[in-house]
Amino acid sequence: MAHLSFDIDAVVEGRSRLTDAQALELHRSASLHDLGTWAHAVTQRLHPGDYRTYVIDRNINYTNVCTARCTFCAFRRDHGDSDAYTLNHEEIGRKIRELVSIGGTQVLMQGGMNDALPIEYYEELLRYIKSTFPTVHIHAFSPPEFVEFERFFGMDVREILRRFRAAGLDTIPGGGGEIFAPRVRRRIGLGKCSGDDWLRVMRVAHEEGMSTSATMLIGHIEFVRERIEHMGAIRDMQDYALALKKDEGGRMKDEMARRRPGVFARSPVHPSSFIPHPSGSYTAFIHWPFQRENTPLGRAKEWDPQTYGPFDESTNEDILKGRVVRMAGADEYLRMLAIARLYLDNIPNLQSSWVTMGPKIGQLALFFGANDMGSVMMEENVVSAAGTTYKLNEREICRLIRDAGWIPAQRDQYYNVLKRHDGPAAPDLVPLDNPPVRKVRRLGRDYIGPAPGLDDGADRSVKVQLPLLSGSAGNPQA
């Protein structure tokens, strides 16, 4: 165990708050095993139950036309591109019917920032979904979209949020957080809102009583200290949101406005925010590594210490920094997950990112600070456009949770448990009528077949070379 300059037990037990310097020390000095042990202890303290959760939703990208030009995105299109699209009500309704048919409870809607769509498009869409599917929770429109809505519609985000809520919007996803540091956003998020504007949208949503989530993208051109600063901003604004819940928002607002003036520079705090009412807050934090395939940023070289030397985070002077990516693999993903659980002491839920890391690392995340396996996710287009193609159904997610030692439980967006799967009718325990059969078909000397460990949910095919036997058995034409 690494020798630390502070009392880690006090942090784990909730008696002390982890500082930025201490978080950096953990990243630099602590072993992955120790980080997992400490983070898991925090998770067990916050979530002592015998279950771990997941949600069934569908990610509907209602348009891929976007005014931003993020270098990490392979999804966006311009007006006039042959594959540019905007979905109509009927197309979205068909997708939601399919979601409801498998027990889904939530629709996640995000899209490109399409300047051709008027505010009425969104209001009519929300009213259509709420009237047609009254039990479906609408989790939609990320902060960058709202910042562009302000420009498109000539309104402040508070007015837009109120109109959208009246039309049926329930909560806001945390997409577009990436890394808040201006140095990073200028390089990877061309045309996307600043970190302060992202936080401002969420501040207003919390003041208006809406719950949201927070995100972070790692493994590109960011420094570790910029990740910690990113989480620090989220933690600060969660302190503010929770103060609103306790009717202490007025005092906290002045303090937070001094610390983060950019977050309060626009969208003035409305007096009603300090009248006791159910205020919103961040319900969860999710981070994931950058997926480089098919993206402009992915064409950058990866940092190689043998070529470029050690990466010195103490200075920004090296011209290569910001031009050479440092990808985050499983070790770095789990390391940051554990640090996030230790650092974000005021955010109750951390999600596993199996969509980018795969089912087994997603399962392992339950021992490194995550208490939730995220979404079954019927549909996902943005991450898959960048080359990641993991897919899990409800049966597979339940099996991953159960194999890790917990009872799988379906939840809603507020992390209320809807179903505990602790009986023989659980999705992963009911025998399949037609169980999958492992088949291999021969193509010359190579064989194409399912990925090893079909039952872990890895919905991908891999090419494998099998040994050839002597005689007719080894004849490719046999």
For residue 2, the model assigns a pLDDT of 74
Q: Tokens 């480089």 sit at which residue?
A: 292
For residue 457, the model assigns a pLDDT of 43
Q: How many angstroms separate the CA atoms of 236 and 410, rounded?
A: 30
- Does 261 reside within a domain? yes
For residue 326, the model assigns a pLDDT of 74
Mean pLDDT by 10 residues, the chain (478 residues): 92 98 96 98 98 95 80 73 87 94 93 85 96 97 94 95 97 95 85 93 95 94 93 97 77 88 91 64 95 65 72 62 73 97 99 94 98 82 49 93 98 97 95 68 49 42 39 36
For residue 456, the model assigns a pLDDT of 42
- Does 435 reside within a domain? no
396 and 456 share one domain: no
329 and 451 share one domain: no
- Does 113 reside within a domain? yes
Token pair for 135: 């039990």
CA atoms within 13 A on the CB side of 399: 18
For residue 387, the model assigns a pLDDT of 47
* Alpha-carbon dihedral angle through residues 151, 66, 219, 393, given to the nearest 10 degrees: 120
- Sheet order of strands, 446-450 included: 441-443, 446-450, 461-464
**Per-position b or e across 179-210, b if 16+ CB within 10 A of its CB:** bbbeebbebbbeebbbbbbbbbbbbbbbbbbb
261 and 322 share one domain: yes
416 and 453 share one domain: no
Residue 337 near residue 369 (C-beta atoms within 8 A): yes
Q: How many angstroms separate the CA atoms of 280 and 295, rounded?
A: 35
369 and 457 share one domain: no
344 and 458 share one domain: no
Say which amino acid occupies 211: S
- Does 428 reside within a domain? no
> 3-state DSSP call for residue 145?
helix
289 and 363 share one domain: yes
Q: How many angstroms separate the CA atoms of 349 and 42, rounded?
A: 11
Number of compact structural domains in the chain: 2
Summarize pLDDT for 286-336 with one digit per residue, the tens: 999 987 666 666 666 677 777 767 776 766 555 455 566 777 889 999 999
467 and 360 share one domain: no
β pairing state of 446-450 and 441-443: antiparallel
171 and 215 share one domain: yes
- Does 1 reside within a domain? no
How large is the C-alpha radius of gyration of the chain?
Answer: 23
- Does 434 reside within a domain? no
For residue 77, the model assigns a pLDDT of 84
- Does 432 reside within a domain? no
329 and 460 share one domain: no
323 and 367 share one domain: yes
Full domain range(s) for residue 453: 441-474
DSSP notation for 45-72 = HH--SSEEEEE-EEEEE-B-B-S-EETT
CATH number at residue 238: 3.20.20.70
- Does 90 reside within a domain? yes
451 and 364 share one domain: no
* Alpha-carbon dihedral angle through residues 106, 360, 304, 29, given to the nearest 10 degrees: 100
